[in-house]
Structure 1
């Protein structure tokens, strides 16, 4: 039989406790623990930090002996009287000095009693009242106050006395001790703790009590300092030198917790149960201990194991615990003995890596280097087939023959099929199958397994089991996951996913899913698809050492950081609950494949620091979630509010600060909040304990906040407030504004209509005038030839006359007169034919060529062009021809200038082109000639506007200027393109 190490978490001076002697503990309505110390004052604790109140903050004395609470009010009895504190304010709100120390504070039937070394008081209103003036306790040492039937009884160093009559002796005269320290009614009996004589047990008898036992044997001669009954009716006994004892009301068994079991000090002064059913044990010299219950029991060398590193574990059907440790061999543990099988007891001093129980209750043991052994529950045996039975000692049979294991003597794991045949995984020899015959003598027949199919059995099988379909599932070191079904072996190949070759552990989940451990983390095969989970999925680590399913459908994985309990959700996400040192799993780092689910649904986990067991039947879940409260509610980070507020419209930025206390796991508390009237859903769970809402609209709001751990959430607390509308959003103001606005709108509309009518008339008159002006301008443009052209032409003709070249003078004079006449005639028309435009252009070009003698020209008319259709506005092309001659051909030295005028029929339009081979627009721009004149020319601007109006609604460009260049990109002239619809 081995002892167990219980998970206690201790808090003392190093953790922030003001002093290591804790004589009393209580809890306020927000969940904070208050602890009375002997010299350090009063400590308030939220599970993480201590807040200390001393005489500097108004406490009467730093030596506090007793505590009681009511809501957020704390009563502290000290050596100098009674201090009353507010938990919310963290301050003393009233002091009642006394000349004698307060020893006991106890609430009985809603009445607070205060017991000092000399008197007994009740707290009424804001003051203390003595019960009777006659009672004087100078000759007594008060220990405890309780109600016996209808009498108020005080236990003292001289026995128990009635408050109404100190001469009324309650105890029978025959008992050995009169010094009673604590009194509790428990399961119909009266238990009395004594000073040095253990616990006295009394039965109710008439108006009194009869002694049943002088003392319970285990408490004989002990000084009892505390007797406490928790909410589960478990009995706790505190002692002065032996720690604490716990009686489990369900199991009817006693447990002892002392310094060897993790208690910080064996001198217990007080025991308290908090809102979450946790037990807090105050000690004299060891601070306070937190006991969360037996979620995990832990066993180490100190408990009786022969080593702390656990390689394999098994709980047999008969209740015996088998453990393989770093101490060598294997241990068999039951209620009466711890037996170690090693080299001295017929086994081997080697590492045992596999323990397995078959259906016939044989224990199979796999070793590293010494083959395997089988434990029979009877001592007689017989030589086995093929002379592989070497020796027997009592009930252990060892199989270490080279005939059975030709390549190696390493056995990794076992599995059993539905027929009771055992499959043995070896290192180097593949799978061996064993058949057991149990009749008069046990017989075992071994055969090396041969399989069909393409796959060969891996020589390194790390783990294996038979699944719910009866197939053998193999986790191999080099071939991934193997499936042996009806003698045929295949290796798993999942489409579009890669299952690693090295699989260290494998297990089947509650719904047939396959969980496995690999270098990629934790894998799960679900409906022919593979999902991998890592730390980002919520796991505590990517290193998976154990996988174990339980009876509730959870999957447990062991890592170097503890164990994670997993629940697979329909979305294929994981719900993870971690168990580490804080949760009582003190072994922390788990061992490879050293886990086991026993017949009582207890989970056993081997670690590098001992053996841990999780007992779900003993876990009494508390439904108490964290306690949540407001720390402050502020307006613009300044003003503090009460429970409700009505705010002006500009007071629309509020900050809410909140907190909570959850002593079982203070670091795991999350918050959710919602502002009704603004938020439609609860926020996501968050670590943040404050939230600010800015620029809120007028309206009614309710702010809710709640605290939770995991799936357990507190009832939300709330703060209601309303933000008033600004006066400009009030109904009366809106009616006034809308009414006035309507009157103004009507006036504006009428004014706009009148102005529009007047403006329309003025606009029509203006348009008529502008139309006339435009027509006059058009005529003027048609008449406006370049003054230089007219002057040069007349000067040339005059020169011919002077030179007596009358023939040439007459010819050019005739051409010039004809040109002027054509311009005047065409100016009267809105549109002219292409034929008339060509005649005008020819006369103009003849005169220009005669004047300059430096260029040639060509007029080309393509087929399909109707020369007689009136389509072209007068003087449309001439300005561009003139511009090309004057500016485009100016300064041309390397080639002779040429002007080409083309008339081309297009799709729905006639295209006119004026092309020169001159210097181009870039050079002309340098000389501030051609481009500047293009853009500044009024004729050009008017021409383009006229073309746009004529071609309105068409999908072709009316006007384009194209720069012509040679193969080297040098300027070679300009082309003007004009398009007119027909």
Structure 2
């Protein structure tokens, strides 16, 4: 812009103003060189939903933090705190933002791992930038940048280098260029569209700051770069999480047109501003909206089309007043612009009307600005106190640890000496005369212990099994429980103690697993497989080992993957009850369970095959039996609800083709990965 009389925010450089209010908003949701844990992936996925579903985003990140706390994993807690800090930054919740950033930074002192420390420095650098401590923000972000470089996390390096470039402007143009070029280099290595767009915006800002008047060649070079950036943003809009960056790309290009040779390309100028306005309204990005309206209004004012300029500013005010919140800064800006338009039109009645509204919102804007300054000052003070306190505690802990080690060393030496003296005296006096009696007594005690342990184990397991069986009456087949316990009782009566104890243990373990998992939102795939093994082996006991089973996992399947609990067992029960159990005795039953992981679709495919009588024969038997499979209906309802988050969730029950395969049933179960 070449004038300062129309739009208050654009007194120097409109592009610089837009970017300066959006630092450090963009944290990665991509794979890094070092393998991320399942908890970190959950937190990152929650953070990626911050634009589309804020409530779900915070909930998922909090769940990830709770899991990290439950496992007492410091590294995962640091990363979860860092994601939550960046989320609160976007929501402008300064108190929570400061709390999570300080928590991440404090815990980072307890680990030497690169990635968690890099995230903690990133969160702290973002906080310092937000509260206008630019020098400290640069120091923390540079520390984070170096750590992510060691981890070869090029996507993170691209974004952090971009933000460092903004912070060095306009004081150090050489460093602005240096980090903008480094951002482009890391973005090309990362290869993801989010990082590439972020880096190109930073380098575009550098090009805009270095434009010279009447230098058409440099302007043309910048225009080609900015047009390429917009094409990239439009082509990959669906994969770019930070929608504000797309709006900034349009604003950059429009602003560049306004700085070009006269007359400017008005059509291209207005087209890019209209696209920026659409992005701003769709994702509620106020700075993009203000910039787009302001540039259009300034253009029409400079052109002398005061009617269009006035209508534009009025439209901006009307849209802002329709929202559930009030942006006093934006309203004051638009009314100030309307004042200038009225003055140029010499409509003094309108001028005084606009001036009254401007004075009202300007006062409210001033109050908010003052309050924000005070809040920033409080946070700066509290944050500084916490950092000093952390350093003091670290020194105190180091001293205490040294004193403890010294005390433990002295005590250990004394204890070893006393033990050695006692052992030497005792064994010298007592060893030979008590050796034979001691061995006999030990043998008698061992036999007695074995008998007592066998008796207590059977009695305790039977009592536990009785209680858990009553609690699981609505979750497990009563016929299965009765038959399994009957077989186990027969073994006990026949004095087959060890097999009986083994199967009782499996049965008790299965009931405990079902109870525990029914109270959880998610379990690991390995826990589900262990539960299925116990259940199937008890079914084998019930059917006198009338069938065999196999559980297979592809190499791509991660066994610590989190899935909803108790989804697979009902289909195993149906395969045994309605497929394998009615099969003729001459045919040896076979149950096969196979797991495949689809990372792109975020689901786990479980395929269940049996060589039983098949669907058609099973339906004929069901006509004679009024029993309904309640567990299968419940599973179907659960999967239907999960389809809101994962459209691939569901299952299919198919008849196996006898011509190409063999008789039996095939179940394909798509399980969402949480």
Give the TM-score taking structure 1 as reference length.
Answer: 0.19
Higher normalized helix content (fraction of residues)? 2
| Structure with greater proportional strand content | 1
TM-score by length of 2: 0.28
